[in-house]
């Protein structure tokens, strides 16, 4: 309580003193000034949690103090003190951001309760700000990792969109984490306790799609030996995630559109209408507007899905997240494989930062997994990275034996950190032979 | 160091205060604060503090008057009045104290508030004792205490006053000891 600072602004000495004495006994750090000018002056150097400001004062009056204080610090709680008869002014002050007003003289309990309420409110604001900051600063959002600006924009969007029940369309290149974003939308929505049902529209053959989505009645077709609930039905109370929606057939688009509009569907072979309450999130790496122009995607279905949309940034657009992502995957895979790898070498990190990552985070994840599996050093070296190998040790266009030998030796040397003895052993030649081949092929250790 | 024996907490009934109440407060003050007490009427009336418009008595003025007439042996002075007290910013007060100062006062005027059915036996005396210990605590620099059972807890309702104890909590006892030492008064051998 002692850390709560209260400033009393009142031109009546007796009011100032009695309020100051009362609040001091309550354990607050209290200061008092006799005018608006003094208050603004004091506020330049000292921060207060609560201001108790008399409305009627000569010079800068209470309303003006309120206006200027709020300009500088909207979070400070200003309570206006007013005499009976000036309530309309007090109400005007509240419209301008005052927390509340007290009518002089006020009940001691009223003052105490109000101050406690303000402190609780401020604590709540601080907590919210803290949580918001945590949200912003944290490197992980669900399994999404990123401190970069584009990812913070995505996190903010997820925070804003998740609580709504609107259909969302997530676009972005392959491997950018569209599925993770969809999951994050679900887990931060009021439906989080419900199911999160994924339909990979690109992976389910068209002839099975109808049954997968809508379910089927026993005997609806030859293989329908049991009645089966479809994914739409399973998603009741939760979220239906339609991944790779750009791959869905025109016919299925019509069926789904109808479901999205009516929230009612029939199982294949069924006659009973089934109502299911779910939120739809769709994702695609395709240019759906282009697909509409080409006649591959229905415009009405697109607009039904595209109520809220956002794009996942490519890894190229957030390269500053690469070290964080790499560390994360490295930690995960070293734990899974039980390998003693301390980290990434600076050279490996430099290579990763220079690379364009067309497969985005998924490619990075795979690269680190491979490097952990094949790595033999305490630190991951560039040559363990697939894109590096592909660039430096690509199969020669010249299929001559000489080129093949050169490429093979270079790869083995690279994988063994140019440890000659170990490389020679793997190549099944002696060290002197290896030295002579290195010289002959003019091989050099990569920088 | 000054010997505590040389000092008194003066309890000053103002006007028509039953001696049994003064005695009761006196014995509790001795128990809590460890000073001898002296029941001595320092002022007879509080008319000088009357606000005719409010028909209440401005407690701060009474405190100033008590301080002015207090004998030198009085380490603290507690006034007891039946008058309805106020400070200008508030509608009323049950009591007032000079924080870290010499004087405090309690009013018995509103101590019979609350639901009669839920009043504990001897409620009036108990409430007065708690108020007296509370206001005296302020003169020893004690602030309101968040511990609900502590006598220094600020109660929002008279029912809360009935619920809190007439004891200082451990924390407030330590603060009191520090303040008495700071005043340069020897600890009681007892």
User: B109 Cβ partners below 8 Å, 6+ apart?
Assistant: B81, B82, B83, B84, B85
Predicted confidence at residue B24, as pLDDT, reads 96
- Closest residue on chain B to A26 (Cα): B144
More confident residue, A68 or B5: A68
Distance to chain A for B138, nearest Cα, Å:
7
- Nearest CB among B88, B143, B144 relative to A14 is that of B88
The alpha carbon of residue B157 is apart from the nearest alpha carbon of chain A, in Å, by: 8
pLDDT of residue A92: 84
CA–CA dist A197, A276 (Å, integer): 13
The CATH number that applies at residue A165 is 3.40.50.300
Please tell me the distance from the alpha carbon of residue A425 to that of residue A403, in angstroms, as a whole number.
Answer: 21
A275/B109: higher pLDDT: B109
CA A19 to chain B, closest CA, distance in angstroms equals 6
The residues spanned by each domain of chain B are 4-182
Which of A18, A25, A112 lies nearest to residue B97, judging by beta carbons? A25
**Which phi and psi (to 5°) does residue B107 adopt?**
-115, 135
pLDDT tier, A3 (very low <50, low <70, confident <90, very high otherwise): low
- In chain A, DSSP finds a helix count (H) and a strand count (E) of 19, 18
Cβ contacts of B187 within 8 Å, gap of 6 or more: B4, B34, B177, B180, B181
- Is the peptide bond prior to B96 cis by the omega test (within 30 degrees of 0)? no
Query: Looking at A106, A132, A158, which one is the last position of a domain?
Result: A132
Q: Is the pLDDT of residue A134 over 70?
A: no
Compute the average pLDDT of residues B75-97. Answer: 93
* Residue found under tokens 């007879």: B44
pLDDT at residue B123 above 80? Answer: yes
Q: Residue B154: its chain A contacts at CB < 8 A?
A: 25-26, 112
Residues A338, A435: one domain? yes
Angle between helices A401-415 and A431-440 (to 10 degrees): 120
Confidence of residue A316 (pLDDT cuts 50, 70, 90): very high
A327 and A343 Cβ atoms separated by less than 8 Å: yes
Contacts of B143 in chain A (CB under 8 A): 1-2, 24-27
User: What are A333's two structure tokens?
Assistant: 């895979």
**Inside any domain, residue A372:** yes
Please give the average per-residue pLDDT across A201-206, as a whole number: 83
Which tops the pLDDT comparison, A109 or B26?
B26
Q: Write the residue in A2, A19, A24 that is nearest to B89 by C-beta.
A: A19
Dihedral sign from CA coordinates of A157, A159, A164, A165: positive
CA distance B9 to A44: 44
In a domain, A169, yes or no: yes
Distance from B119 to chain A by nearest Cα, in Å? 20
DSSP line for A271-295: -S-EE---EEEEEESS-HHHHHHHT
A100 by Cβ neighbours in 10 Å (0-12 / 13-18 / 19+) ranks as middle
pLDDT computed for residue B155 by the predictor = 80
DSSP A37-83: HHHHHHHHH---SEEEEES--SSS-HHHHHHHHHHH-TTSEEEEEEE
Confidence at residue A216, expressed as pLDDT on a 0 to 100 scale:
86
Burial class from Cβ neighbours inside 10 Å (0-12, 13-18, 19+) for residue A193 reads: exposed
3-state secondary structure of B15: coil
- CB-based contact (8 Å) between A111 and chain B? yes
Q: Which two tokens stand for residue A185?
A: 């939308």
Tell me which range, A328-342, A402-416, B53-67, is most confidently predicted by mean pLDDT: B53-67
* A407-434 per-position pLDDT tens digit: 888 888 887 778 888 888 888 888 888 8
On whether the CB atoms of residues B44 and B66 are closer than 8 A, the answer is no
Return the pLDDT at A385: 87
Quick count: other Cβ atoms within 10 Å of Cβ A133? 10
CA distance A97 to A359: 51
Residue A18 belongs to what H/E stretch? helix A13-25
Reply yes or no on whether the pLDDT at A397 is more than 60.
no
Considering the domain architecture, whether residues A102 and A154 belong to the same structural domain is answered as no
The pTM for the full model equals 0.52
Please report the number of interchain residue pairs, chain A to chain B, with beta-carbon separation below 8 angstroms. Answer: 60
Point out the residue among B87, B92, B156 whose CB comes nearest to the CB of A22: B87
Task: Evaluate if residue A141 carries a pLDDT over 70.
Answer: no
Best of B89, B99, B101, B158 to substitute, by most chain A Cβ atoms within 10 angstroms, is: B89
Q: How confident is the model at residue A100 (pLDDT cuts 50, 70, 90)?
A: very high
The band of A136, judged by pLDDT with boundaries at 50, 70 and 90, is very low
Q: What is the pLDDT of residue A1?
A: 44
A84 touching B (Cβ < 8 Å): no
Q: What percent of chain A shows pLDDT beyond 90? A: 30
Q: Please state which of the ranges A57-61, A136-140, A231-235, A403-407 shows the lowest mean pLDDT.
A: A136-140
- The H-or-E segment that residue B66 falls in is helix B59-69
Given CA atoms B166, B83, A110, A112 in this order, what sign does their dihedral have?
Answer: negative
Select the residue from A3, A10, A25, A111 to test the B interface by mutation, using most B Cβ atoms within 10 A.
A25
* Between residues A208 and B104, the one the model is more confident about: B104
Name the residue range of residue A360's domain. 317-440
**What is the H or E stretch that residue B9 is in?**
strand B8-13
Strand partners, B37: B9
Residues of chain B contacting A112 with CB distance shorter than 8 Å: 154, 156
Judge whether residue A36 has pLDDT over 50.
Answer: yes
Under a CB-based contact definition with an 8 Å cutoff, are residues B22 and B11 in contact?
yes
Report CB contact under 8 Å: A106, B91.
yes
Other CB atoms within 10 A of residue A267 CB: 25
pLDDT at A181: 93
Tell me if B157 and A109 make a contact (CB, 8 A cut-off): yes
A446 lies in a domain?
Answer: no
A177 and A304 in a single domain? The answer is yes
Contacts for B178 with CB less than 8 Å, ≥ 6 apart? none
Q: Which of A122-131, A194-203, A240-249, A346-355 has the lowest mean pLDDT?
A: A122-131
Does the domain at B4-182 match CATH 3.40.390.10? Answer given as: yes
HEC secondary structure over A106-129: ECHHHHHHHHHHHHHHHHHHHHHH
Strand partners, A54: A81
Q: Do A329 and A392 lie in a common domain?
A: yes
How many domains does the structure of chain A reveal?
A: 3
* DSSP assignments along A176-212, one per residue: S-HHHHHHHHHHTSTTTTS-EEEEETTTS-HHHHHHH
A336 shares its domain with A282 = no
Distance CA A33, CA A8 (A): 6
Average pLDDT of chain A is 85
The verdict on residue A175 lying in a domain is yes
DSSP code of residue A241:
E
Pairing relation of β-strands B8-13 and B56-58?
A: unpaired
Rounded-to-integer distance, Cα B62 and Cα B105, Å: 8
Select from A292, A311, A330 the last residue of a domain.
A311
Q: How confident is the model at residue A137 (pLDDT cuts 50, 70, 90)?
A: very low
Query: What pLDDT is stored for residue A139 in this prediction?
Result: 42
pLDDT band at B100 (very low <50, low <70, confident <90, very high): very high
- Asked if residue A250 and residue A222 are part of one domain, the reply reads yes
How far, in Å, are A242, A245, B8, B22, B24 from residue B29 at the CA level?
77, 81, 11, 10, 9
Contacts of A26 in chain B (CB under 8 A): 143-144, 154
Assign residue A175 a region (left: φ > 0; alpha: ψ between -120 and 50; beta: otherwise): left
Do residues B10 and B70 touch, judged by C-beta distance below 8 A?
yes
Residues A361, A380, single domain; the answer is yes
Mean pLDDT of A38-64: 91
- pLDDT band, residue A395 (cuts 50/70/90): low
Judge: B154–A26 Cβ closer than 8 Å, yes or no: yes
Residues A341 and A245 in one domain: no
pLDDT higher than 50, residue B190? no
* Whole-number pLDDT of residue A2: 46
Nearest to A106 among B89, B99, B146 (CB): B89
pLDDT at site B2: 67
CA of B72 vs chain A CAs: smallest distance (Å): 25
- Residue B183 is predicted with a pLDDT of 87
Does residue A257 lie in a domain region?
yes
Contacts of A22 in chain B (CB under 8 A): 87, 89-90
Tell whether A73 and A109 lie within a shared domain. Answer: yes
Which of A283-287, A387-391, A421-425 comes out lowest in average pLDDT? A387-391
Nearest CA of chain A to the CA of B156: how many Å? 6
Q: Do B60 and A25 touch (CB under 8 A)?
A: no
Nearest CA in chain A to B139: A25
Q: Do B156 and A109 touch (CB under 8 A)?
A: yes
Average pLDDT of B42-66? 95
Tell which of A132, A159, A187 closes a domain. Answer: A132
Q: Which of B88, B96, B144 sits opposite A26 (nearest CB)?
A: B144
Chain B partners of A111 at a C-beta cutoff of 8 Å?
90
Can you tell me the distance from the alpha carbon of B134 to that of B142, in angstroms, rounded to the nearest whole number? 9
Say which residue, A75 or A160, is predicted with more confidence.
A160
Chain B environment of A80 (Cβ under 8 Å): none
Q: B88 and A112: CB-CB below 8 Å?
A: no
Task: Enumerate the residues of chain A whose CB falls inside 8 A of the CB of residue B157.
Answer: 109
Strands (E), A247-393: 264-265, 274-275, 279-284, 308-311, 343-344, 379-380
A28 shares its domain with A103: yes
Minimal Cβ distance to A1: which of B87, B138, B146: B146
Active site positions of B, annotated? 135
Above 70 in pLDDT, residue A45?
A: yes
Alpha carbon of B184: minimum distance to chain A alpha carbons (Å): 23
- Chain A residues close to B99, C-beta within 8 Å: 21, 24-25
Looking at residue A28, which CATH number applies to its domain? 3.40.50.2300
The answer on A279 and A245 residing in a single domain is yes
Q: Are residues A361 and A276 in the same domain?
A: no
């Amino acid at each position: 309580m002692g850390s709560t600072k209260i400033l009393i602004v009142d031109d009546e000495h007796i009011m100032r003193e009695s309020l100051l004495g009362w609040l001091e006994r309550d354990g607050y750090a209290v200061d008092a000034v006799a005018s608006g000018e003094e208050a603004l002056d004091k506020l330049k150097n000292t921060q207060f949690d609560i201001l108790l400001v008399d409305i009627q004062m000569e010079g800068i009056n209470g309303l003006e103090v309120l206006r200027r204080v709020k300009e500088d610090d909207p979070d400070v709680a200003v309570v206006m003190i007013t005499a009976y008869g000036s309530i309309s002014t007090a109400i005007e002050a509240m419209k301008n951001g005052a927390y509340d007003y007290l009518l002089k003289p006020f009940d001691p309990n009223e003052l105490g309760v109000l101050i406690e309420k303000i402190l609780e409110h401020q604590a709540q604001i601080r907590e919210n700000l803290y949580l918001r900051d945590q949200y912003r600063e944290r490197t992980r959002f669900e399994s999404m990792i990123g401190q970069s600006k584009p990812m913070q924009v995505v996190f903010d969007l997820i925070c804003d969109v998740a609580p709504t029940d609107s259909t969302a369309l997530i676009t972005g290149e392959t491997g950018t984490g569209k599925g993770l974003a969809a999951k994050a939308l679900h887990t931060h929505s009021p439906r989080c306790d419900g199911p999160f049902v994924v339909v990979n529209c690109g992976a389910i053959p068209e002839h099975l799609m109808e049954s997968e989505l809508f379910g089927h009645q026993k005997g609806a077709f030859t293989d329908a030996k049991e009645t089966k609930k479809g994914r739409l039905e399973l998603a009741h109370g939760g979220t239906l995630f339609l991944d790779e929606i750009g791959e869905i057939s025109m016919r299925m688009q019509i069926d789904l559109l109808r479901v999205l509009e009516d929230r009612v569907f029939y199982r294949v072979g069924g006659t009973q209408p089934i109502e299911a309450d779910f939120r739809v999130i769709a994702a695609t790496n395709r240019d759906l507007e282009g697909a509409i122009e080409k006649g591959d995607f229905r415009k009405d279905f697109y607009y039904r899905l595209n109520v809220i949309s956002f794009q996942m940034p490519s890894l190229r657009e957030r390269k500053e997240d690469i070290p964080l992502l790499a560390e994360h995957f490295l930690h995960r895979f070293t734990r899974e494989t039980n390998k003693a790898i301390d980290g990434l070498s600076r050279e490996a990190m430099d290579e990763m930062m220079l690379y364009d990552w067309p497969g985005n985070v998924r490619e990075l994840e795979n690269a680190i997994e491979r490097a952990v599996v094949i790595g033999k050093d305490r630190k991951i070296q560039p040559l363990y990275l697939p894109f590096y190998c592909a660039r430096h040790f690509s199969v020669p266009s010249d299929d001559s034996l000489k080129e093949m030998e050169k490429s093979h030796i270079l790869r083995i040397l690279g994988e063994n950190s140019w440890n000659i003895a170990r490389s020679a052993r793997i190549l099944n030649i002696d060290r002197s032979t290896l030295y002579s081949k290195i010289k002959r092929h003019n091989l050099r250790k990569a920088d | 160091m000054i010997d505590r024996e040389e000092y008194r907490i003066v309890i000053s009934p103002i006007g028509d205060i039953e001696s049994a109440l003064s005695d009761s407060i006196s014995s509790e003050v001795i128990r809590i604060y460890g000073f001898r007490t002296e029941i001595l009427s320092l002022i007879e009336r509080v008319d000088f503090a009357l606000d005719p418009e409010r028909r209440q008595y401005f407690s701060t003025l009474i405190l100033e008057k008590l301080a002015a007439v207090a004998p030198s042996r009085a380490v603290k002075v507690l006034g007891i009045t039946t008058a309805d007290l106020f400070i200008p910013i508030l509608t009323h007060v049950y009591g007032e104290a000079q924080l870290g100062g010499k004087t405090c006062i309690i009013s018995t005027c509103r101590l019979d508030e609350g639901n009669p059915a839920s009043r504990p036996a001897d409620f009036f005396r108990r409430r007065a004792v708690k108020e007296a210990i509370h206001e005296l605590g302020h003169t020893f620099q004690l602030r309101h205490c968040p511990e609900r059972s502590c006598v220094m807890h600020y109660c929002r309702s008279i029912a809360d006053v009935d619920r809190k104890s007439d004891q200082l909590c451990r924390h407030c006892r330590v603060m009191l000891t520090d303040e008495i030492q700071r005043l340069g008064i020897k600890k009681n051998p007892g």
